[in-house]
Every structure is written in C-alpha cells, then in structure tokens.
Amino acid sequence: MADKIRVMIVDDIAETREQLRKLLSFDPDIEVVVMAGSGEEALRSVTQVFPDVVLMDINLPGMDGIATTSKIVEALPTVQVIMLSVQGETDYMRRAMMAGARDYLTKPPSADELLDAIHRVYTMRQKMGTGPLMPIPGMPQVAGTVSRAANAKIVTIYSPKGGTGCTTLAVNLAIALQMVLGADAKVCLVDANLQFGDIAIFMKLQAARTIADLAPHVQDMDFDLLRTILVSHSSGVQVLTAPATPEDAEVFRDSEVEESGANTRLKAILEFVRQEFDYIIVDTAHQVDDVILATLDVSDLFIVVTRPVIPEIRGARQFIDLLRKLSYTMDKVSLVINGVDTKRMGIQPEAIERAMMPAMVHIPYDERIALRAANYGEPLILKNTRTPIGQAIINFATEIQKYFAQTVEETVPVSEAQKRPGIGRLL
C-alpha cells in the first residue's frame, strides 16, 4: 500500500481541531499525525514529525498562522501548508500565499474541499522532490537539492548612463526589503557591474571570493559552493560581489552568447541563485550588452533609473523604446526618478513620467546623506529611515512588494522574455 499522507492540524480551538480530524478520518489515504493549539507548538512538532501537509488556522493567539507558515516553510520547504480562515479575510490570502501557503480554504471547509486540497498539494509536493534546505539541528545537509518552494523575484536596477544612483538604489533597496520583510526573508544583492562593480565598497564588505569564482562552475553549481562565495552584510542581506578587477570579469567574456544575445554564464548564475532566495536585487553597468540582456531575460521586474537631467532622460527613453522594439514584456519594466529636487531643478518628475511611463517612486536629492553613505561605506537607509530620502527608499521597497502581490496570479514565464528577436539582429 502507498504511504499515507501525513497531516498536521493547527488550530487554537480544540473543537475545530476535532472536527477537522473527523472529516479527514473518512479518507483512508490520510493520517493525522499531530495536532497543535498554537504556532509555537506547531513549530516544535513540525521538525519532529515531518508532516506532508499542514492545515493552518490563520488566526492564532501569539504567533499567527502567517508567521508560523513562513517559519515552517523556511525550515522545511517541502511541507505543504493549507491556510484556513473565516470568510471576509480574503486580503489575508495574498499574505498567506506570500508566506508560502499552498492553498487557502474558507472555514468551515466541506469534506470534499478539504480532501481535494490535501490531495492536490500532496501531488505538488511529490513533483518538487525532497530534501530540506535550511540546516535543521541533527539533520545532514543535502547538497545540490532544489531548495525553496518559490523562486526569488529578480529585480534589476539599470540606467544607460552612469552616476544616476543605480548602486545607491540597489544597495538601499535590498536592505529596505530585508527590513520590511523581516529577518526571516532571504534577500540577495548581486553586483552584475562585472568590470567596475562597487557594491562591496558601498557596503564596506571584504569579499574573499566573488561572482567570478562561480562563473567556471555553471555546469556543476551547488549550494555549498554558493554559500562560500556569498558575503553576509550586517543587515542580513547576502551579497554576491563583482569580480575584484576588470580582468577577472574576462571569465564571463568566454561564455557563450545565446541567440537572444544573453550572456549564458550570468544567466545560469542568476537562475541558480534564485532557488535559494525570496528576492534578488541586481545592480548593473551602463551599456546594452550580453550581460544586460541576461538580466532582462531573468528579471521579474526591470527598473530603469534616471535623474531629472535631459541627457539621462533621453538615454532612459531611448532604452525603453529599444525594449518596446524588442517586444519585451513592458509590464515588467518600471521607472524610478532619482535625485528629485523640485526647488533647484527645472524639470518636474511628472513631465518625465508623461514622456516615458509612470514612475514607481521619486527619490529626493540629498547630497549630504548620499555622499556620506558612499564615502563611509554605510548604506544610508541604516541611519536615515526618518529622512525624506530614507522614507522614499522604504516606500520603494513597499512598492516592489505590492507589485509582486498584484502579479502573483499572472506571473509571466521567463521563457516569454526569450521569445523576442535577438538584439544582435536589431542593432
């Protein structure tokens, strides 16, 4: 006989737990292995009993169902959580899904709904393979397994001209996301300005190894190797730094270029790293080349930065026009206007938006704060959350979250991006 589906029930009301258990007892393929009355209790049991499926009440006293779910999924990515909630809490649904829940049912569920959902998520789990990613005490680590339930959202920050603030924004956005999402979130910052990347300077990081050390291993990458190359910042953000010298970036030059024009090594690295994170923020250099095309192919959101200065606006606009010619999915492209100083500058951000597209956020000009941050290697968001520039960056992180909350159900498969004509033929 096939193994039974092992189910855990989490609800603070004993009667509800009992009703659910009764409903499940009608299905010979399901076995309730444990019941918990709180999130804390659920967390203690989950690593002991390794259930296949967890039925989670959203409203729990203490740690709520959403926080408990994200902790469970973090520790055991293959556990499938089904969230249960009373009617009228539909706005919780998105949060539950973002936390890693696989399905969502209204209380009280009918027997059919409940059994269907359990069988469905269990089938999904079997397709995912097994092997927990996060080190669980007493459990050997499995190298090379596909780890998290959901792939990271990749957000690339780009401008055709240098000096617009891409690195400043990428660094501070990554930290702000970590702040907004909490310590459990996994945020990675990748410096894809391969020749002249300066994220390590902006964050005062000593990197013994860099993305150049990963490049020769695209065929045989594993998570153990990746972990030795990522550098941890005090904010919790993990950083994949740029090659130490422009010559070291040569290893990406030998790489093959796809028909679409994308650098295969960088693309493979980003595709691999995304398995381990919730968000990846990518900083880039300022041209259109195979490296930028690789980021365009894998990005879920591609942000073009400009300051309110005519040559930069023109460059940004030409780039966006190029994307349109290449039939790039424009839903994935957004604009950020940096260095906005309405008192000093003649060009209003609204005029730039009319010429291009609405901006996700306007970041104010603050030379003192930005320069100090760059010179001391202390990202400005760490000490300036209450200043206008800090507030704008927090707002940026929140807008990114909202963007993905809205596109959860309609994510465009990456392969869509690859259907565009090769840039080599266009330029």
Ligand X SMILES: Nc1ncnc2c1ncn2[C@@H]1O[C@H](COP(=O)(O)OP(=O)(O)O)[C@@H](O)[C@H]1O
Using CB under 6 A, list all residues that contact ligand X.
159, 162-168, 338-339, 363, 365-367, 370-371, 374, 389
Shortest reach from residue 363's CB to Mg ion, in Å: 15
Looking at the Cβ atoms of 7 and 242, the one nearer to ligand X is 242
Indicate if the alpha-carbon torsion angle 416, 410, 402, 57 is positive or negative: negative
Shortest reach from residue 241's CB to Mg ion, in Å: 13
Looking at the Cβ atoms of 71 and 362, the one nearer to ligand X is 362
Between CA 218 and CA 255 the distance in angstroms is 10
CB 318 within 8 A of CB 415: no
Query: Which residues contact Mg ion by CB under 5 A?
Result: 166-167
Which of 100, 161, 103 is CA-nearest to residue 319? 161
CB 334 within 8 A of CB 321: no
Looking at the Cβ atoms of 166 and 270, the one nearer to ligand X is 166
Q: Which does 192 bind (CB under 5 to 8 A by kind): ligand X, Mg ion, none?
A: none
Q: Which does 366 bind (CB under 5 to 8 A by kind): Mg ion, ligand X, none?
A: ligand X
Q: Which does 165 bind (CB under 5 to 8 A by kind): Mg ion, ligand X, none?
A: ligand X
Q: Which does 68 bind (CB under 5 to 8 A by kind): Mg ion, ligand X, none?
A: none
Between CA 8 and CA 44 the distance in angstroms is 12
Shortest reach from residue 355's CB to ligand X, in Å: 20
Looking at the Cβ atoms of 121 and 392, the one nearer to ligand X is 392
DSSP-assigned letters across all residues of 199-238: HHHHTT---SS-HHHHGGGTTS--HHHHHHH-EE-TTS-E
Looking at the Cβ atoms of 79 and 370, the one nearer to Mg ion is 370
End-to-end Cα, the chain, rounded Å: 61
Shortest reach from residue 296's CB to ligand X, in Å: 17
Q: How far is CA 393 from the centre of its chain?
A: 17
Shortest reach from residue 165's CB to ligand X, in Å: 3
Q: Which does 111 bind (CB under 5 to 8 A by kind): ligand X, Mg ion, none?
A: none
DSSP structure class, residue 31: E
